[in-house]
Amino acid sequence: MIDIKFLRENPDAVKENIRKKFQDEKLPLVDEVIALDAQVRKAQQEADDIRASRNKISKEIGALMAQGRKEEAEAKKAEVAANAARLAELEEQENVLREKIKKDMMTIPNIIDPSVPIGKDDSENVEITRYGEPVVPDFEVPYHTEIMERFHGIDLDAAGRVAGNGFYYLMGDIARLHSAVIAYARDFMINRGFTYCVPPFMIRSSVVDGVMSFAEMDAMMYKIEGEDLYLIGTSEHSMIGKFIDTIIPEEELPKTLTSYSPCFRKEKGAHGIEERGVYRIHQFEKQEMIVVCRPEDSPIWFDKLWQNTVDLFRSMDIPVRTIECCSGDLADLKVKSYDVEAWSPRQQKYFEVGSCSNLGDAQARRLRIRVNGKDGKYFAHTLNNTVVAPPRMLIAFLENNLQADGSVRIPEVLQPYMGGMTQLR
């Protein structure tokens, strides 16, 4: 959510930003907000005048009563009563108008960074850098669920009977590998100075509204029936929500947290054949990282965050690349975003395994996360990034470490988390 003062003073810039995101249907919202804002300020001014007048008249009533001029005092009391009715009317009008403004402002996209490439959708995203040499082995690499089944490591049929499509049982060494990756990612981030946290796995609607757009919420979130609670789609939401309605002393910044959680997503719509198995599912586990910092520091932290993911994957000998999301592929709250993609030897192409985002002060403005600085209070900047999400990471891991004899090599960094095992056979 952008600053309404900025919108009021720079409507053309806000409209141009909407055009860059190819959301022309939202252009009328800018003029609507300006008109509603003018009505609010007019009602507020009249209400302030009435309050000032009420205070003045109250003093006059007291003076008239002291002088025994009861008739005149009663007339003044009637005036106060009339003013009270009008004041209540204006306050109600203000509330209605402000609610309309809030709804519009939460729909207008955030101002994107000038460095973001302009494009309509993810087909126009831009490759930034590749890390590691993609390898295509001279033997056939099976689909990831086939590799898992060779180790008796997955049961999709039983999961389908228990919970339906989009769920799985991981078993044996594959389940152990899953947990090993999470544990390694946790320690990796702790060693980089992040504070480890296990957050709530449900959040209230006030937090949901603060961390994501309406479209994202509808596509992702599961609501708990009869309660003001949602299952988290990513622990980033719960972690940023930790700071709702807080004023953080500037000297305590940055706040750098890494969190473990299960994640729950609707994953609406049909997906391609490459999204079978555990590629796109309703429940998975993830290690996440978030930063709350000063506005001037957020570009630096953005680069640190995506580099953490690259370094983690490279430490396990998995080739990756970074992709910058173009304007049309950015969610409405995001200022700038990189995807980290891992190499798939089977598909002979890269696929997304993480996403790093700078949201500017959009989430902080919605959640009222302020910083107490030497020159006064201001809204913090928030950033988030996937450390690792094992279902997709397992796909990359198994394909890149599969050997010709069907065994899977375990990189040195993971061996302590696998009881010293050097391979799966």
Residue 272 has pLDDT above 70, yes or no: no
- For the beta carbon of residue 416, count every other beta carbon within 10 angstroms: 13
pTM here? 0.88
HSE value, Cβ hemisphere, 13 Å, CA-based, for 19: 6
What local confidence, expressed as pLDDT, does residue 41 receive? 92
Residue 60 has pLDDT above 90, yes or no: no
What local confidence, expressed as pLDDT, does residue 270 receive? 45
What local confidence, expressed as pLDDT, does residue 313 receive? 96
Nearest in space to 387 (alpha carbons), one of 133, 154, 126, 194:
194
Q: Which residue has the tokens 């002291």?
A: 66
Across the range 383-391, mean pLDDT stands at 93
Residue 274 has pLDDT above 70, yes or no: no
Across the range 354-358, mean pLDDT stands at 96
CA distance 391 to 398: 11
pLDDT tens digits, 129-173: 999 999 999 999 999 999 999 999 999 999 999 998 889 999 999
- For the beta carbon of residue 141, count every other beta carbon within 10 angstroms: 18
- Among the ranges given (86-95, 272-281, 353-362), the one the predictor scored with the smallest mean pLDDT: 272-281
What local confidence, expressed as pLDDT, does residue 273 receive? 44
> Which domains does the chain possess?
4-105 (1.10.287.40), 122-424 (3.30.930.10)
**From the DSSP assignment, how many helices (H) and strands (E) are in the chain?**
13, 18
Question: Is residue 314 within 8 Å of 396, Cβ to Cβ?
Answer: no
Residue 174 has pLDDT above 60, yes or no: yes
